[in-house]
Amino acid sequence: MLRLAINGYGRIGRCLLRALHESPLRERMAVVAINEPADLESIVHLTRYDSTHGRFHLPVEEREGGLRIDGQPIAVSHGNTPEAVDWAALDVDLLLECSGRYADRSGIDRFLAAGVPRVLVSNPMRNAEQADATVVYGVNETALHCDARIVSNASCTTNCVVPLLHLLLDDPGIEAAVITAVHSAMNDQPLQDGYHRTDLRRTRSALQSIIPVSTGLGRGVERLLPALSGRIQAHHLRVPTLNVSAMELCLQLRRDATAEEINRRLQNAAAGPLAGVLSFTERPHASCDFNHDPHSCIVDGTQTRVTGRLLRLMAWFDNEWGFANRMLDVAECWSRNWVKETA
């Protein structure tokens, strides 16, 4: 049984715990510890009830200063720094770092120094070389190896678009790409106009406006698909919805293609090698239909358009739930390498 700990029990941290208990992976791994500075009463309450994903389907109790879920104990600590928790005493195999506070090697190394053997980070690192691997499950999980100590799970938007780009990169080929993320509001935006540390646009109410924000998506794609270096632009719009986002990809292809050909290729991949990661639909959906969907990417085939060599694709994704499920997939895949090494 793989022993997991979660550092930072916010949107992704709580989704990870829920997703694990809804997944067959619960037979192979368990969350045994959570570190979150918030008070225990709030932690318990937000575990039981979630405005986006509903009630936890198992009994959640406060017991002996921690959580107990369906009878299984989870130790809870309230440290503000990596050094404030005795990680070695918790005997964890892998830390899922979900606070979003650490994006460079020096920050993550503090967890290793404090007794954590390995860290899977829920955000991209500032520089690719600062992680032993950056993984988009379904594309490059073979990059995981037993000697790695720090792995990045990239971002939810990267996990959505990279499988699509990877499928089309060699044939019909991609000359250039412009990607627009239409993303649900996030907790770094105020409900009413208020101050933001770095971005004047994000001082405005998340409920009232479509807000352009900066994005590192283009750099993230280039790290994973270096053949696209210098040929990709990305834009990011925050919209007043609670969850589920969309990606619009405009691709200049190397050869002529048809919408039917592209859809057939993506549909076959969703039914075959990328099953569980990629999905495909041609039904008349709206974004709310994909709340709690575990896929990284759901291609909306009704929106595929081709004009000569210009391809337009649209894909949906639950930016919380899909990403949390991929973190669990990466954790399980990575752990198989440890088992092989031990054997």
Contact 222, 212 (CB under 8 A): no
Q: By CB neighbour count within 10 A (0-12 exposed, 13-18 middle, 19+ buried), where does 187 fall? A: exposed
CA distance 40 to 77: 9
Please provide the DSSP assignment of 61-106 as one string: EEETTEEEETTEEEEEE--SSGGGS-HHHHT-SEEEE-SS---SHH
If DSSP codes are grouped into helix, strand and coil, which group holds residue 325?
A: helix
Is 14 labeled as ligand-binding?
no
Q: Is 156 a catalytic residue?
A: yes
12 is in an annotated binding site: yes
- Spatial neighbors of 267 by CB under 8 A, at least 6 apart, are 280, 299, 301
Q: CA nearest 249: which of 176, 143, 195, 192?
A: 176
Catalytic-role residue among 98, 156, 160, 297:
156
- Cα–Cα distance for residue pair 263/285, rounded to 1 Å: 17
**DSSP secondary structure string for all residues of 98-136:** -SS---SHHHHHHHHHTT-S-EEESS--SSGGGSSEE--
Q: Of 85, 72, 77, 101, give the one whose Cα is nearest residue 3.
A: 72
DSSP 275: B
Query: Tokens at residue 188, please?
Result: 């770094």
Q: Which of 235, 227, 110, 119 is nearest to 171 (CA)?
A: 227
Please classify residue 124 by burial: count the beta carbons closer than 10 Å to its beta carbon, then call 0-12 exposed, 13-18 middle and 19+ buried: buried
Tell me if 11 is assigned to a ligand binding site.
yes
H or E, element range at 15: helix 11-21
Q: Of all helices (H) and strands (E), which one includes residue 248?
A: strand 245-253
Show which residues are catalytic. 156
Annotated binding site for NAD(+): which residue ranges? 11-12, 122, 319
Annotated binding site: which residue ranges? 11-12, 122, 319
